[in-house]
Amino acid sequence: MIIYRAKDYNDLSRKAANIISAQVIMKPNCVLGLATGSSPEGMYAQLVDWYNKGDLDFAKVKSVNLDEYRGLSRENEQSYYYFMHKHLFDKVNIDMNNTYLPNGLAEDPEEECRRYDALIESLGGVDLQLLGMGHNGHIGFNEPGDHYDKGTHCVDLQQSTIEANKRFFASEDEVPRQAYTMGIGTIMKAKKILVIVSGAEKAEILKEALYGPITPQVPASVLQMHSDVIVIADEAALSAIK
Q: Which of 87, 67, 29 minimizes the C-alpha distance to 184?
A: 67
| Torsion angles phi and psi, residue 70, rounded to 5 | -80, 130
Q: How far is the CB of 55 from ligand F6R (least distance, A)?
A: 25
- Regarding 134 and contact with ligand F6R (CB under 6 A), the answer is yes
Q: How far is the CB of 54 from ligand F6R (least distance, A)?
A: 29
**Given 33, 37, 176, 219, the residue binding ligand F6R (CB under 6 A):** 37
C-beta atoms surrounding 98 within 10 Å? 17
- Regarding 140 and contact with ligand F6R (CB under 6 A), the answer is yes
Map residues 177-196 to x or -, x wherever contact with ligand F6R holds by CB under 6 A: --------------------
For residues 215 and 104, what is the distance between their CA atoms, to the nearest angstrom? 29
Exposure string of 154-163, with b = 16+ CB inside 10 Å and e = fewer, is bbebbeebbe
- Regarding 234 and contact with ligand F6R (CB under 6 A), the answer is no
Sequence letter at residue 39: S
- Regarding 67 and contact with ligand F6R (CB under 6 A), the answer is yes
Q: How far is the CB of 138 from ligand F6R (least distance, A)?
A: 5
- Regarding 139 and contact with ligand F6R (CB under 6 A), the answer is yes
- Regarding 176 and contact with ligand F6R (CB under 6 A), the answer is no
Smaller CB distance to ligand F6R: residue 40 or 94? 40
**Given 66, 113, 218, 237, the residue binding ligand F6R (CB under 6 A):** 66
**C-alpha angle 85/43/221, rounded to 5°?**
105
Smaller CB distance to ligand F6R: residue 38 or 98? 38
Name 112's Cβ contacts closer than 8 Å, sequence gap at least 6: 102, 103, 106, 152, 154, 180
- Regarding 132 and contact with ligand F6R (CB under 6 A), the answer is yes
User: Annotated active-site positions, please?
Assistant: 67, 136, 138, 143
- Regarding 35 and contact with ligand F6R (CB under 6 A), the answer is yes
**C-alpha angle 227/35/115, rounded to 5°?**
90
First to last CA, the chain: 16
State the residues that interact with ligand F6R by CB under 6 A. 35-39, 66-67, 132-134, 138-140
